[in-house]
Chain A
Amino acid sequence: MSGHSSWPEWVYIGVVVALLCYVGAEAWNIERIVEHVPADAEIIKVTGQQWLWTFEHEDGTKEIGELHLEKGKAYKFEITSKDVIHSFNIHDYVVLLDAVPGRVNTVWFSPTEAGEYDIQCREYCGLIHYNMRGTLIVEDKGA
């Protein structure tokens, strides 16, 4: 327009686009790997309701607010909700998925360290949302 050269802008746009392509490809690849559930994963049924978490193990044992798992095993959560949308979150293991009434969402993880971890709700669900918390207890049975 005003006769100036526009090549610096094209170089800049090229660099930005290249960076974005890298981020996109890397994210795609990692997500593809992360979503692959191991065949031997044990299923845990997770139910959110205002304002607590209920867990049901494969053998039928039920727990409320606390979840006992074993170190090194793979677990697949089947998450649903009884009333409003919640979001099941174990932040230390990057487990995060919405509990949606009428749907079952699945996510898997494998605890690598024995100890206690916070379970919390990450989607606004009303009065006690701030305290819809639980504890994940990872036990080391092999030791």
Chain B
Amino acid sequence: MVLELHKPRPIWQIMFSTHHTDVGLLYLITSLAFMFMGGALALILRLELFAPGTQVIADSMTYNRIFTVHGTTLIFLFILPSASAFGNYLVPIMVRYKDMAYPKLNAIAFWMIPPAGALIWLGFADFTWYAYPTYSVISAPGPAADMWIFGLKILGVSSILGSINFIVTIMKCKHPDLPLSKMPLLAWAYLTSSLITVVAVPTFAAALLMLLTDRLGASGFFNPLMGGDPIAYQHLFWFTFHPEVYILVIPAIGFMYEIFPRFSRKPIFSHGSGVTAFVLLALVGFASWAHHMYATGMSFTEKTVFMVGTLAAVPASAMHTFNFLATMWGGRIKFATPIMWAVGGIALFFSAGAGGVVNSAMPLDFITHDSYWVVGHFHLFVMGTILFGTVGFVYYMFPYITGRMYNEMWGKVHFILSFVGTVMVFFTQHILGLFGMPRRIYDYPPIPEWVQMNIIISIGAFIIGISMAIFLANLIYSSAKGKPADMDDPFGLGGKYYYPYQAKNPHH
């Protein structure tokens, strides 16, 4: 692969470069930094919830601010940029073009992220990552709330610019000999997730402006005292952010489509089924947004429509799972760190999806809605599926980016601890939700079941914390002092055939 970052260069050359691998590296380092920061916030929250009563956080407002910034950081400053990072590295190579279509736009899209991150972290808003009015309009303290709104605005523009760049690179700069139907599935992942971004995100951008003018008192879109409707915001918000789930998860699935065939030493079971499933997800992703809003007092008909729309997304996800398993079936699998993460990711993806079917069934949603069940459910997606896929891919790309190998043993320890921790935390949270504990609460009454489960969850969270500390140490140590990688076959799979995007690949 022609990523050529193991040649030492001064940092400012990378920072002011517009080359796709340099921008990719900037995206990657930024997103991983935010991952560790956002994860650290989660550990503070878990410390507080370890037992009823006040533990480490003095007041509920601080707690509320921490979970808001935790969610915002990990969704917008970790998952989205980390997907862009690998897209920058690989999409031009996969479509056989020298760079992204608009290199300067690419660098601009990246450089919008640090100021947006600064606004979110310096403001530390408290109105949760979805900022529902009327709380966010009449009650949330400024200037934190306004800084959050501006930060998200900038991030929205950044991701739209990045998506346009991916779409143009794939559709216009693709090598004429490479038909779309033969394009690698990871490139398809970027094409579909970018298309969703371009359609979905402007709605939230509009809602943010309306929220801002509402806060300033200049308008009353969402304020019932001025004739507005707070539920309208929820529709606009979820019209963006249900498809956003697919924007986040599709690249992670794409990573797995790279990892499984390599480490199973077998071609993908069905390229066509992967493409079909991506396109299906992109379409049905728009038919389910209001399943987040059953409890707002929707009519029976509305609920039915959105339940059907939600269930329709399941077969497409199931097709991906089938494809992964069928690819591994009968392969000579080498269980190196990347595929372990990917296999763990599928297991948790399946669990998350099964729980999602329960949420979408109308009568059951009234048990799980806004309880810890939901927290466990979506964390199985964002952590169990997306983070697992992404971290696996970080390990996979590590030798290509740094020219050195990560420490395999510690990579596996990282995986095992993370997997155990994830199961302990998020499966238990499902059950805790069935026992009725609401999400986003700073303190809880000493109900015995709640206390026991919160202890289990907090211990699991600290296991994840330890595993992530191992990850950080492995990344830093191995990129400086790791043993030099064999660039033709860093994972010892026994042949260049298994690395189809390498510059020296005979197939190209």
Q: What is the interface of chain A, defined by CB distance below 8 A to chain B?
A: 1-2, 4, 6, 8-9, 12-13, 16-17, 20, 23-24, 26-28, 30-32, 34-35, 50, 83-85, 87, 89, 91-92, 94-98, 100-103, 105-106, 118, 120-131, 133
- Taking the nearest CB of chain B, how far is it from the CB of A92, in angstroms? 7
A interface SS class: mixed
A2 x B267 contact (CB < 8 A): yes
- Indicate with 1 or 0, residue by residue over B342-360, a CB within 8 angstroms of chain A CB atoms: 0000000000000001001
CB distance A94 to B367 under 8 Å? yes
| Interface size bracket, B side | 35 or more
**A-contacting residues of B (Cβ < 8 Å)?**
60-61, 64, 126-128, 132-135, 138-140, 224-225, 229-231, 267, 269-273, 295-297, 300, 303-304, 307-308, 311, 314-315, 318-319, 322, 326, 357, 360-364, 366-367, 369-371, 435-436, 438-445
Taking A13-B319, A87-B370 as contacts, is the C-beta distance between A131 and B135 under 8 angstroms? Answer: no
The tally of CB-CB contacts under 8 A between chains A and B is 153
Contact, CB under 8 Å: B139 / A50? yes
Q: How far is the CA of A31 from the CA of B371 in the complex (A)?
A: 20
Q: Please tell me if the beta carbons of A31 and B363 are within 8 angstroms of each other in the complex.
A: yes
- Tell me whether A20 and B139 are in contact (CB under 8 A): no
A13 touches B318 (CB 8 A): yes
Decide: B314 and A101 in contact? CB cutoff 8 A: no
- List 15 A–B pairs whose Cβ atoms lie within 8 Å, in order of A's numbering: A1-B272, A6-B270, A20-B315, A24-B307, A31-B303, A32-B300, A91-B367, A91-B436, A102-B224, A105-B297, A120-B436, A122-B369, A124-B439, A125-B139, A129-B60
Contact A127 B367 (CB under 8 A): no
- What A residues does B304 contact at CB under 8 A? 28, 31
Once the chains are docked, how many angstroms separate the CA of A123 from the CA of B126?
14
B357 & A96 in contact (Cβ 8 Å cutoff): no
Q: In the complex the two chains form, is B134's CB within 8 Å of A9's CB?
A: no
Within the complex, the shortest CB–CB distance from B211 to chain A, in Å, comes to 14
A106 to chain B, nearest CB (A): 8
Distance from A142 Cβ to chain B, minimum over Cβ atoms (Å): 28
Q: Could you tell me if A124 and B132 are in contact, using CB atoms closer than 8 angstroms?
A: yes
> Nearest Cβ distance between residue A97 and chain B, in whole angstroms?
6
Q: Complex formed: what's the CA distance from A129 to B315 in Å? A: 38
> Is B436 within 8 A of A92, CB to CB?
yes
Interface centre among A91, A97, A103, A124 (most CB of B within 10 A): A124
What residues of chain B lie closer than 8 Å to A94, measured between beta carbons? 363, 366-367
Residues of B within 8 A of A87 (CB): 295, 369-370
* Residue in A9, A125, A130 whose CB lies within 8 Å of B319: A9
Q: A9-B326, A27-B363, A30-B363 are in contact. Are A124 and B271 (CB under 8 A)?
A: no
Cα–Cα, bound, A91→B138 (Å) = 28
CB-based nearest A residue for B128: A124
A130 contacts B315, C-beta separation under 8 Å:
no
Select from chain B the residue with minimum beta-carbon distance to A125.
Answer: B135
Chain A residues with CB under 8 Å of B442's CB are 129-130
Residue contact B440 to A102, C-beta cutoff 8 Å: no
7 more A-B residue pairs beyond the given contacts A20-B311, A27-B307, A27-B364, with a C-beta to C-beta distance below 8 A: A16-B318, A32-B300, A100-B230, A122-B295, A125-B139, A127-B64, A128-B60
Chain A residues with Cβ below 8 Å from B307 are 24, 27-28
Beta-carbon contact of B270 and A101 below 8 Å: no
Nearest-Cβ distance from residue A32 to partner chain B, whole angstroms: 7
- Measured between beta carbons, the chain A residues less than 8 angstroms from B436 are 89, 91-92, 118, 120
Bound Cα distance A13, B138 (Å): 48
CB pair B296–A100 under 8 Å, yes or no, is: yes
Complex CA gap A9/B269 in Å reads 10
CB pair A16–B314 under 8 Å, yes or no, is yes
Nearest CB in chain B to that of A124: its residue: B440
The listed residue (B128, B296, B326, B443) touching A98 by CB distance below 8 A is B296
A4:B135 contact, CB within 8 angstroms: no
Is the Cβ of B361 less than 8 Å from the Cβ of A127?
Answer: no
Given contacts A20-B357, A103-B297, contact A27 B362 (CB under 8 A): yes
Contact of A130 among B267, B297, B363, B444 (CB under 8 A): B444
**Closest B residue to A88 using CB positions:** B295
A1 to B364, CA, bound (A): 41
Cross-chain contact B300 with A35 (CB below 8 angstroms): yes
Interface pair A126/B139, CB less than 8 Å apart: yes
Chain A nearest Cβ from B366, distance in angstroms: 5
Bound CA–CA A35/B269 (angstroms)? 46
Asked whether, in the complex, the Cβ of B438 is within 8 Å of the Cβ of A121, the reply is yes
Instruction: Pick the residue among B140, B319, B443 that contacts A131 (CB under 8 A).
Output: B443
- Contact between chains at A1 and B440 (CB < 8 Å): no
**With contacts A31-B300, A50-B139 known, is A85 near B315, CB below 8 A?**
no
Task: List, in ascending order, chain A residues with CB within 8 A of B295's CB.
Answer: 87, 96-98, 122
